[in-house]
Amino acid sequence: MSSFESIAAKVRADQRISADEALFLFNSNDLLAIGELAALANERKNGKNVFFNVNRHINPTNICVNRCAFCAFSRTPGDEGAYTLALEDMCRKAKQAEEEGATEVHIVGGLHPDLPFEHYERVLNAIRQVAPTLHIKAFTAVEIDYFGRISGLTIEQVFERLKAAGLGSMPGGGAEILVEEVRQKICPEKISGARWLEIIRLAHQAGLKTNATMLYGHVEGPADRVRHMELLRELQDRTGGFQAFIPLAFQPENSDLKLNIKGTSGLDDLKTLAVARIFLDNFKHIKAYWVMLGEKIAQVALAFGVNDLDGTVVEEKIGHDAGARSPQSLTKEGIIRMIGKAGRTPVERDTLYRPLNSYPKDGHY
Ligand code: V47
Ligand code: SF4
């Protein structure tokens, strides 16, 4: 039988908690006590430092053959609002980002029915040429699996080719909830949870760092969230290739998931981040993605075990097409102020978490 005290004793002694214990925390309403433990676990790993980066998102196309039920971003060819960016447009966005001080471009998009694998190599090569200082973090495991299918290449070969074209690391999307019964309800066309884990394992084997996300606040229950995180923790024990864990709060507008919900509660957001921080003892970074959480919850999350606020983003479509109320973009100064006002030390990082600039914790924000 779990009790809060026995779990707290483990966390204080820097010991791993079990899946049952994580579930116990999810089922508890003592948010402040959970938050305090998460803050302890985080401080041990990261001190007072909170990371952010200056980045820019580019979504090359919203045309997608999968049409996941939760996704308000995707379109079928011919639908109103369907788009595919020209190579020149992507290059212009990347170059402008570099000129404005970005260090990373984050590229993810739909699974386009007609574009060949070579198109994606061309995108990476072209961006690398016009904006050579940008780190290219691109393509979810779902896209990588698709590239394998449309090209006939093995996943190992896909990674070799993309790395040769300039791929630096991968984001953590497409994980959703890795439990099959949940996937069948929210994204039946998408690769299985087991396949997502396999592609990520191969990415790590190819020397690419990745993140891991978790889409929560829809049909899943606490046990599904815990199982999801347990699968990630097991893979991280084997590869060490994950950088950050990023819970994504489901935005319910304009999606085909007809749930009578207005979105996640602030309490659930904070508890999810805190339990993740405690349970995922082999992940260094827990990221509060302000786009889905809103700036205020993301800031409060810094007292609940979070040590990363993502970045400036600049142009966000996936959450905003689904009704996210956050701005499309934050300035670097705005992020520094959010972190500084929470009593933490803002640290600008590059994609691989090397510190670039840090700002005083008690500066006048
Ligand atoms: O995989 C789609 C999610 C993901 C909705 O790795 C939705 O640094 C909420 O993975 N409500 C893509 N979420 C975005 C993503 C990401 C974002 C920021 C940083 C990183 C990183 C990764 O967006 C998808 C899906 O899970 N998503 N629709 C929605 N309605
Ligand atoms: Fe396509 Fe990704 Fe949207 Fe699913 S979540 S429909 S795979 S763009």
Average pLDDT over residues 36-64: 97
Index of the ligand 1 atom closest to the CA of residue 213: 10
pLDDT in tens, 231-276: 999 999 999 999 999 999 999 999 888 777 788 999 999 999 999 9
Do residues 242 and 211 lie in contact, with contact meaning Cβ atoms separated by under 8 Å? Answer: yes
Index of the ligand 2 atom closest to the CA of residue 109: 8
Q: What is the average pLDDT value for the chain, to the nearest integer?
A: 96
Which of 140, 170, 215 best tests ligand 1's pocket when mutated (most atoms within 8 Å of CB)? 215
Confidence of residue 2 (pLDDT cuts 50, 70, 90): confident
Confidence of residue 365 (pLDDT cuts 50, 70, 90): confident
Q: Is 64 in the pocket of ligand 2 (CB under 6 A)?
A: yes
219 pLDDT higher than 70:
yes
Instruction: Measure 318 CA to ligand 1 centroid, in angstroms.
Output: 7
Residue of the CA atom closest to atom 6 of ligand 2: 67
Confidence of residue 136 (pLDDT cuts 50, 70, 90): very high
Task: Give me the pLDDT at residue 260, please.
Answer: 79
Relative orientation angle of helices 31-46 and 266-279, to the nearest 10 degrees: 50
Alpha-carbon torsion, ordered 115, 117, 118, 124, to 10 deg: 100
118 pLDDT higher than 90:
yes
**Residue indicated by tokens 């020209």:** 86
Confidence of residue 225 (pLDDT cuts 50, 70, 90): very high
* Ligand index nearest the alpha carbon of residue 250: 1
Q: Is 216 in the pocket of ligand 2 (CB under 6 A)?
A: no
Order of strands across the sheet that contains 355-358: 308-311, 49-53, 345-349, 355-358
Instruction: Measure 317 CA to ligand 2 centroid, in angstroms.
Output: 12
- What's the whole-model pTM score? 0.97
Distance (Å, whole) CA 274 – CA 268: 10
Residue of the CA atom closest to atom 8 of ligand 2: 110
Confidence of residue 77 (pLDDT cuts 50, 70, 90): very high
**Ligand 1 pocket at CB < 6 A:** 70-72, 108, 140, 171-174, 176, 211, 213, 215, 246, 248, 250-251, 255, 289, 292, 310, 318-319, 322
Domains of the chain (ranges plus CATH)?
A: 20-358 (3.20.20.70)
Distance (Å, whole) CA 60 – CA 127: 12
Instruction: Measure 123 CA to ligand 1 centroid, in angstroms.
Output: 21
Long-range contacts from 113-119, C-beta under 8 angstroms, 24+ separation: 113/63, 113/65, 113/77, 115/61, 115/84, 116/150, 116/151, 117/147, 117/150, 117/151, 117/153, 117/158, 117/161
Q: Is 119 in the pocket of ligand 2 (CB under 6 A)?
A: no
Index of the ligand 2 atom closest to the CA of residue 142: 7
**DSSP letters along 215-266, please?**
EESSS--HHHHHHHHHHHHHHHHHH--EEEEEEEEPP-TT-S---S-----H
Instruction: Measure 214 CA to ligand 1 centroid, in angstroms.
Output: 8
46 pLDDT higher than 90:
yes
Confidence of residue 1 (pLDDT cuts 50, 70, 90): low
> Hey, CA dihedral for 105, 106, 110, 112, is it positive or negative?
positive
Index of the ligand 1 atom closest to the CA of residue 249: 9
Task: Give me the pLDDT at residue 361, please.
Answer: 63
Instruction: Measure 14 CA to ligand 2 centroid, in angstroms.
Output: 38
pLDDT in tens, 158-178: 999 999 999 999 999 999 999
List C-alpha distances in Å: 319 to 36, 186, 206, 268, 354.
Answer: 29, 16, 30, 18, 28
Which of 184, 185, 187 best tests ligand 2's pocket when mutated (most atoms within 8 Å of CB)? 187
Residue % of the chain over a pLDDT of 70? 99
Task: Give me the pLDDT at residue 363, please.
Answer: 66
Average pLDDT over residues 118-135: 98
Which residues line the annotated binding site for S-adenosyl-L-methionine? 70, 176
Instruction: Measure 173 CA to ligand 1 centroid, in angstroms.
Output: 5
Choose the most confident range, by mean pLDDT, from 120-129, 259-268, 322-331.
120-129
Distance (Å, whole) CA 176 – CA 221: 13
* Ligand index nearest the alpha carbon of residue 288: 1
